[in-house]
């Protein structure tokens, strides 16, 4: 197998990573990650306390070099979710920064502090390009929400990561000269695989902002040296809001080579505002934790035949399947929607390709249920335009919410709410939100209607059990949840039940 990071083996004094004031060159990254790889070889699986720092990048690269699967942990993960992830993935060690305060849930696990400073005696590891190992071996286990139950661990192989990153190289003419700017979290595929492993595979560099801010984007892009920006739609929405009063931001976006949005749909209004102010179009791409990247608009004359040269901007479209990805639309009755496409008939997106995950960890049932024969069911519903361009129009499961680019299952939040002593019944839905795409709304029947808990108390409870981004942003209190004669909850009737409650 092609080692994932040829530029690490070569070593050089070119910058590989920059997080704030901290920079690591390829030579330095090769040394520190190579030394850590030697320490963790044979450790089983390793958990990585995935703060937005250089340590996380070093830890993950070390695990990949050592051939040890890494489990990135959201450092804000609440008690219940952390216990589930650790119980399910059974890591042998946790990699963290020396000053990271780890929660009690990790106290039992041996800890290795990740160094980013190169000690004088650190040798250039013979390992630093990564041993050509088994391409099918697990590289990362990334947890992702389903409609019900706790998150599932998606096992991603070295093969899947290499295939997806190399397809993007082609579609975006992504080279070692590119300097990627982003502020995405490092415990999901967007920020970690595309945002850190992507530049390292190309021999380019990444500048991570630590936390998202419009000022950070304006400073680092364009004249600041950054050539590409990756973000979720919420970030582009906040950029679009700021453009009118910020000529430096307009210049920075106008000078960048490539602006990419993904993880959720970027509303056409935000596409238009950015183009009107900067003359640039945001390139939308579509992917999923289980499949890595599936479709994108193409941007460069060298793009492959599958993506027409100079494809015109098409807000609302995610473009064409990337190299190696086979994509079909399947109607409700199981029949495939073939060409000629009309841009109107809708079907579920199903995919095949070398970019797909290997399995859900410990969940052969869920893995089997996710496939229709060899085809992975994405659950996303789309149409294809006459020229094959894919336009996503919805999702099969209404119990999946995409908020700020995070996928969140209604069921896991309902279960966490039901654990609160003052909650008798709970239902969770997503509502459109201009900033987050969707906003989590909780509908709660209190144990004691005269003394309901506060909305803030319930939000804190969910944040503490699961993660802050899973907390409800709105809480409605009802006397009863609407149900049919069989006792089944009628989520569509919730707004009506609220209106009646307010009237009465």
Interactions with ligand AMP, residue window 369-408 (CB under 6 A): 378, 380, 392, 395, 402, 407
Q: Which is nearer to ligand MLC, 32 or 413 (CB)?
A: 413
Distance, CA of 162 to chain centre? 17
Contacted by 404, from ligand AMP, ligand MLC, none: CB < 5 to 8 Å by type: ligand MLC
Q: Nearest 5°: phi and psi at 287?
A: -155, -170
Is position 232 an interface residue for ligand MLC (rule: CB under 6 A)? yes
Which residue in 144, 205, 355, 429 binds ligand AMP (CB under 6 A)? 144
Q: Nearest 5°: phi and psi at 455?
A: -60, -40
Cβ(76)–Cβ(467) under 8 Å? yes
Distances (CA, A) of 50 to 19, 179, 320, 395, 436: 14, 22, 32, 29, 23
With contacts defined by CB under 6 A, name the span among 162-170, 362-370, 403-411, 442-450 that binds ligand MLC. 403-411
Q: Which is nearer to ligand MLC, 40 or 60 (CB)?
A: 60
Q: Nearest 5°: phi and psi at 120?
A: -60, -35
Distances (CA, A) of 73 to 102, 143, 195, 464: 11, 9, 16, 15
Shortest distance, CB of residue 359 to ligand AMP, whole angstroms?
Answer: 16
User: What is the distance between the alpha carbons of residues 274 and 255, in angstroms, rounded to a whole number?
Assistant: 13
Angle between helices 247-255 and 268-278 (to 10 degrees): 90
Contacted by 9, from ligand MLC, ligand AMP, none: CB < 5 to 8 Å by type: none
Largest CA distance in the chain: 75
3-state secondary structure of 53: coil
User: What is the distance between the alpha carbons of residues 75 and 59, in angstroms, rounded to a whole number?
Assistant: 14
**In the block, which residue shows the tokens 């966490």?**
416
Report residue 273 as tokens.
């505002």
Is position 208 an interface residue for ligand MLC (rule: CB under 6 A)? no
Which residue in 125, 289, 367, 403 binds ligand AMP (CB under 6 A)? 289
With contacts defined by CB under 6 A, name the span among 80-88, 117-125, 166-174, 400-408 that binds ligand MLC. 400-408
Angle between helices 54-66 and 26-40 (to 10 degrees): 60
Report residue 423 as tokens.
């909650």
HSE of 363 in the Cβ direction (CA atoms, 13 Å)? 20
Write down the H helix ranges in 336-422.
364-369, 410-418
Contacted by 173, from ligand AMP, ligand MLC, none: CB < 5 to 8 Å by type: none
Shortest distance, CB of residue 122 to ligand AMP, whole angstroms?
Answer: 36
Is position 472 an interface residue for ligand MLC (rule: CB under 6 A)? no
Separation of first and last alpha carbons in the chain = 67
Is position 235 an interface residue for ligand MLC (rule: CB under 6 A)? yes
Q: Which is nearer to ligand MLC, 36 or 249 (CB)?
A: 249
Is position 56 an interface residue for ligand AMP (rule: CB under 6 A)? no
Residue nearest to ligand MLC (CB): 404
Contacted by 212, from ligand AMP, ligand MLC, none: CB < 5 to 8 Å by type: ligand MLC
Contacted by 392, from ligand AMP, ligand MLC, none: CB < 5 to 8 Å by type: ligand AMP
Is position 184 an interface residue for ligand MLC (rule: CB under 6 A)? yes
Q: Nearest 5°: phi and psi at 261?
A: -120, 145
Cβ(211)–Cβ(51) under 8 Å? no
Contacted by 380, from ligand MLC, ligand AMP, none: CB < 5 to 8 Å by type: ligand AMP
| CA dihedral over 39, 42, 48, 53, signed as positive or negative | positive
Which residue in 14, 111, 314, 469 binds ligand MLC (CB under 6 A)? 469
Q: Convert residues 237-276 into a mask of x (bound to ligand AMP by CB under 6 A) and - (unbound).
A: -------------------------xxxx-----------
Is position 229 an interface residue for ligand MLC (rule: CB under 6 A)? no
Interactions with ligand MLC, residue window 331-370 (CB under 6 A): none
Shortest distance, CB of residue 237 to ligand MLC, whole angstroms?
Answer: 9
- Which residues contact ligand MLC by CB under 6 A? 76, 184-185, 188-191, 211-212, 232, 234-235, 262-263, 287-289, 404-406, 459-460, 463, 468-469, 471
- Which residues contact ligand AMP by CB under 6 A? 144, 262-265, 284-289, 318, 378, 380, 392, 395, 402, 407
């Amino acid at each position: 197998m092609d080692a994932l990071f040829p530029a690490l083996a070569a070593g050089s004094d070119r910058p590989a990573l920059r997080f704030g004031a901290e920079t690591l060159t390829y030579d330095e990254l090769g040394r520190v990650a190579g030394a850590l790889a030697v320490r963790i070889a044979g450790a089983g699986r390793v958990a990585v306390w995935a703060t937005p720092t250089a340590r996380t990048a070093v830890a993950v690269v070390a695990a990949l070099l050592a051939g040890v699967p890494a489990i990135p942990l959201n450092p804000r993960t609440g008690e219940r979710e952390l216990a589930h992830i650790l119980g399910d993935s059974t890591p042998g060690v946790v990699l963290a920064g020396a000053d990271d305060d780890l929660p009690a849930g990790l106290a039992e696990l041996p800890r290795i502090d990740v160094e980013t400073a190169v000690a004088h005696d650190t040798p250039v590891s013979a390992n630093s390009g990564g041993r050509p190992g088994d391409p099918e071996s697990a590289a990362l286990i990334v947890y992702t929400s389903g409609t019900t139950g706790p998150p599932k661990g998606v096992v991603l192989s070295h093969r899947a990561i290499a295939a997806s990153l190399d397809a993007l190289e082609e579609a975006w003419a992504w080279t070692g000269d590119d300097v990627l700017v982003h502020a995405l979290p490092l415990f999901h595929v967007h920020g970690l695989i595309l945002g850190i492993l992507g530049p390292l595979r190309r021999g380019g560099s990444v500048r991570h902002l630590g936390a998202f801010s419009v000022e950070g984007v304006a400073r680092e892009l364009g004249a600041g040296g950054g050539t590409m920006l990756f973000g979720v739609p919420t970030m582009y929405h906040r950029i679009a809001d700021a453009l009118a009063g910020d000529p430096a931001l307009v210049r920075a976006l106008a000078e960048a080579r490539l602006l990419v949005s993904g993880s959720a749909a970027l509303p056409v209004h935000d596409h238009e505002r950015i183009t009107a102010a900067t003359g640039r179009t945001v390139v939308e791409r579509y992917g999923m934790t289980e499949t890595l990247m599936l479709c994108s608009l193409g941007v460069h004359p060298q793009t492959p035949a599958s993506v027409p040269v100079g494809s015109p901007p098409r807000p609302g479209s995610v473009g064409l399947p990337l190299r190696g990805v086979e994509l079909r639309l399947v109607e409700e009755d199981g029949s495939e929607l073939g060409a000629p496409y009309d841009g109107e008939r809708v079907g579920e997106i199903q995919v095949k390709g070398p970019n797909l995950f290997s399995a859900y960890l410990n969940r052969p049932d869920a893995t089997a249920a996710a496939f229709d024969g060899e085809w992975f069911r994405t659950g996303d519903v789309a149409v294809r335009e006459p020229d094959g361009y894919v336009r996503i129009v919805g999702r099969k499961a209404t119990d999946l919410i995409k908020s700020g680019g995070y996928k969140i299952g209604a069921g896991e939040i309902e279960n966490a709410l039901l654990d609160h002593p003052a909650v008798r019944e709970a239902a969770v839905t997503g509502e459109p939100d201009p900033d987050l795409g969707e906003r989590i709304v909780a509908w709660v029947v209190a144990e004691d209607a005269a003394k309901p808990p506060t909305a803030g108390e319930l939000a804190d409870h969910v944040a503490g059990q699961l993660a802050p981004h899973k907390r409800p942003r709105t809480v409605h209190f009802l006397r009863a949840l609407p149900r049919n004669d069989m006792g089944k909850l009628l989520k569509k009737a919730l707004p009506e039940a609220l209106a009646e409650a307010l009237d009465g």
